[in-house]
Amino acid sequence: MTPRAWQIEARRVVLEHLLSDAGKREPGAISVVTGAGKGSLLPMLLYALRSERKLPPRIVIATSRSQLVTSLLLACYAACDPSAPKHGREAIQAGTDPVMAAIRASEIVGQYDGRRKDPRPVTVTTYPSLPACLRAMGGADLLICDEAHRSAAPDALDAVMSVDLRFGMSGTLYLGDETRTIAAFKRTLYRYSAADAIRDGVIVPAAIRVGSLAAPVDGVGIDRDRALAALLGELEADGGCSSMGPGVVAVSTVAEAEWLAARVTALGLRGLAVSGQDSMRERRAAVAAVSAGAVDVVAMAKLWLEGVDCRAIRWLAPLVNLPRNELVQFF
């Protein structure tokens, strides 16, 4: 994939900072709107450091959830392991069985979380597993915090702060609201806002709606039953989402997601439920189905809030209270 202009500029800025004396004194982070390709910046940075022979000996990449570990493992493998090119870019992006087997056998890239504890020079972990990961590795020379706003979790913050050279990536560099910043990062190195991405055609914004009602930020004041009835009525009237386009409905539980997908299907639309119970293959298939125009409504139980790039989505109906920093994917 050809790097986007913002990725090239961000890589330059971040590399200069990491390799400067200020890198350890003033840990920095970038704020890039979700969906702009923030995840693709990681392998670009690692590959650049490797090419310049300045790759630190112990690198830890921390992320918020286990389901994001696999995608980061694939990115690290592509950028850092000399055996990666033999598989080809498409196979690595798809995470085929031979690629995953190669990652498990890799002497360069490792995983340390609730599923596998096998650290290597470049190790992907989750924030809950970060303290144990750092102990197992004897520390880290560089810590990269994906979804950096999650680094403030009580079980992770001390571990994050223990690594002098650290770098964060997030769609939003605040906690819950704009008045609470992230303690682990003193400097914002680069910003790429939703307005920037929309201007460049990188993302397509979704309308925030609850049926015909305007959805208040943070979900305050949502009359859930009334909103659901209004939404279903609007979907039925639209007849296949011909004018609305495909959208996402956020609900509280897996059971609610499955019920809503079935209810939408009964209206003659094409509903799909997604949740944290889905496998990585099922998650990729869901994104592909929406992108291909095969799904009208995705009912989600807190799965598509971060780390999903699906530009086909045109609207969001939050039927559950969601803080602003979890809605950033859709702004």
Strand runs (DSSP E) across 49-176, as ranges?
59-63, 109-112, 117-118, 122-126, 142-145, 166-170, 174-175
Q: Which of 29-43, 240-254, 262-276, 289-303 has the least mean pLDDT?
A: 240-254
Q: 82 in helix, strand or coil? A: coil
pLDDT grade, residue 230 (50/70/90)?
Answer: confident
Q: Which of 33-42, 54-63, 216-225 has the least mean pLDDT?
A: 216-225
Q: 161 in helix, strand or coil? A: helix
Q: Which of 87-91, 138-142, 149-153 has the least mean pLDDT?
A: 149-153
Can you tell me the distance from the alpha carbon of 79 to that of 51, in angstroms, rounded to the nearest whole number?
A: 10
Q: Which residue has the higher pLDDT, 155 or 331?
A: 155
175 pLDDT higher than 60: no
Q: Which two tokens stand for residue 194?
A: 């939703």
The mean per-residue pLDDT over the stretch 34-38 comes to 78
The mean per-residue pLDDT over the stretch 133-160 comes to 91
Q: Which two tokens stand for residue 258?
A: 């499955």
Q: Given this model, what pLDDT does residue 211 score?
A: 43
Q: Given this model, what pLDDT does residue 215 score?
A: 43
Can you tell me the distance from the alpha carbon of 198 to that of 209, in angstroms, rounded to the nearest whole number?
A: 19
Q: Which residue has the higher pLDDT, 135 or 198?
A: 135
pLDDT grade, residue 160 (50/70/90)?
Answer: very high
Q: Which residue has the higher pLDDT, 295 or 201?
A: 295
142 pLDDT higher than 70: yes
192 pLDDT higher than 70: yes
Q: Which of 26-30, 33-37, 146-150, 327-331 has the least mean pLDDT?
A: 327-331
Q: Given this model, what pLDDT does residue 30 score?
A: 92
Q: Given this model, what pLDDT does residue 279 score?
A: 77
261-282 residue pLDDT tens: 888 888 888 889 988 778 777 8
pLDDT grade, residue 214 (50/70/90)?
Answer: very low
Given a contact cutoff of 8 angstroms between Cβ atoms, the answer to whether 173 and 27 are in contact is no
Q: What is the mean pLDDT of the chain?
A: 82
141 pLDDT higher than 50: yes
Can you tell me the distance from the alpha carbon of 305 to that of 298, in angstroms, rounded to the nearest whole number?
A: 12
Biggest CA-to-CA distance, the chain: 61
Range among 160-164, 261-265, 278-282, 304-308 with highest mean pLDDT value: 160-164
> No. of H helices and E strands in the chain?
12, 16
